[in-house]
Chain A
């Protein structure tokens, strides 16, 4: 975690045992290119209208995590070399929705 600010930690804030998934609607996953982790890049969460909601830098394992509200979201990935990709994903309270994004 990054203290009490609003900053987005690389890979997304961890889901701690103490916090548990509980009332959170977690969307998390990993970005790969030819099977390898994309360690430099950004994951953006867009709402159902396509508006930006949140962004994290990818972790060293290509990982990202968001704490969304329940509903349908678009995950958009940006990586060097004008690489981008999008996936539609649905989030539910008390669940971790996992996805792997190959770019």
Chain B
């Protein structure tokens, strides 16, 4: 797989964002940014309201995903270009989610909303009207998503990659430093996990580093490329960014995202936890 199969740049989006068969989608947790201005022709997906079940802690089910994409006017044959804020965390999460439900044509805008804004490219407030479709999703692909028992069983057997910041990994912070530190669960990390913060895979402008730099990054951190891998963070979107790097850019087979992540693991009774800096 080459980068052009999974990434587009801003020039491509400016030239092709309005082409038939191409749908731009801005994905964020806080969609007020979209409402103030977005890339021309982009529709929005709200990470929480659209992609999370409103009652249980889980995704919307297959029928819910079909209803969402149908309502947004996305067809099975469309190439979906995802972008968003937070260095594409939520866009990468949506990418993984689209793959989970079997969408074939999906790519990320490299650098996301940040690079677009820093380059002073056009943002508009017009909301495109797309006719409703009849989207058909697949059953969730179990090879992409890890659940808690599998994570516990992976200790010492598979690569576990904790992509949070070093202070979160060590247990000194319970959330990223742009958020209040008021979580109730225990701090620390899953034993044997390597700490490779998601941010080390990205340049300052939000684009992904080169394949060579990425291989060096994970290799130096002690990742065994011959083993299966599970990535996690706090709620699974930063680790979707790392899942994208390992699975889509570097072509590693058998990489799963553990979307339960630390908010689940750090609240489980009886599981092992390590604290302290990476060894």
Q: Is B160 an interface residue (CB 8 A)?
A: no
B211-237 vs A: 1/0 string, CB under 8 Å? 000000000000000000000011101
> In the bound complex, do residue B30 and residue A9 qualify as a contact, i.e. CB atoms below 8 Å apart?
yes
Which residues of B sit under 8 angstroms from A57, Cβ to Cβ? 33, 85, 114
> In the bound complex, do residue A51 and residue B197 qualify as a contact, i.e. CB atoms below 8 Å apart?
yes
Instruction: Give the tally of cross-chain contacts (CB within 8 A).
Output: 105
Q: State the CA gap A57–B237 with chains docked (Å).
A: 18
Q: Closest chain A residue to B236 by CB distance?
A: A6
> In the bound complex, do residue B117 and residue A40 qualify as a contact, i.e. CB atoms below 8 Å apart?
yes
B31-72 vs A: 1/0 string, CB under 8 Å? 011000000000000011000000000000000000000000
Among B30, B200, B235, the one with the most A-chain Cβ atoms within 10 Å of its Cβ is: B30
Which residues of B sit under 8 angstroms from A54, Cβ to Cβ? 165, 176-178
Among A5, A54, A79, the one with the most B-chain Cβ atoms within 10 Å of its Cβ is: A5
Q: Is B167 an interface residue (CB 8 A)?
A: yes
Q: How large is the interface on A (under 10, 10 to 19, 20 to 34, 35 or more residues)?
A: 35 or more
> In the bound complex, do residue B237 and residue A42 qualify as a contact, i.e. CB atoms below 8 Å apart?
no
Q: Is B182 an interface residue (CB 8 A)?
A: yes
Q: Is B204 an interface residue (CB 8 A)?
A: yes
> In the bound complex, do residue A81 and residue B120 qualify as a contact, i.e. CB atoms below 8 Å apart?
yes
Give the interface segment out of B86-94, B137-145, B147-155, B244-252. Answer: B86-94
Distance in Å: Cβ of B128 to nearest Cβ of chain A: 23
Query: Which residues 80-125 in B have Cβ within 8 Å of A in the complex?
Result: 85-87, 89-90, 114, 117-120
Partner of A19, one of B30, B166, B180: B180
Q: List 15 A-B contacts (CB under 8 A).
A: A2-B29, A5-B47, A5-B48, A7-B30, A8-B86, A8-B178, A9-B30, A23-B181, A51-B199, A53-B167, A53-B176, A55-B87, A67-B179, A69-B172, A80-B118
Give the interface of B toward A (CB within 8 A). Answer: 28-30, 32-33, 47-48, 85-87, 89-90, 114, 117-120, 165-167, 172-173, 175-182, 197, 199-200, 204-205, 233-235, 237-238, 263
Known A3-B48, A51-B166, A81-B120; further 17 A-B contacts with Cβ < 8 A:
A5-B235, A6-B86, A6-B89, A8-B85, A8-B176, A13-B179, A13-B180, A15-B180, A52-B199, A53-B165, A53-B177, A57-B85, A67-B180, A78-B204, A80-B117, A80-B118, A80-B120
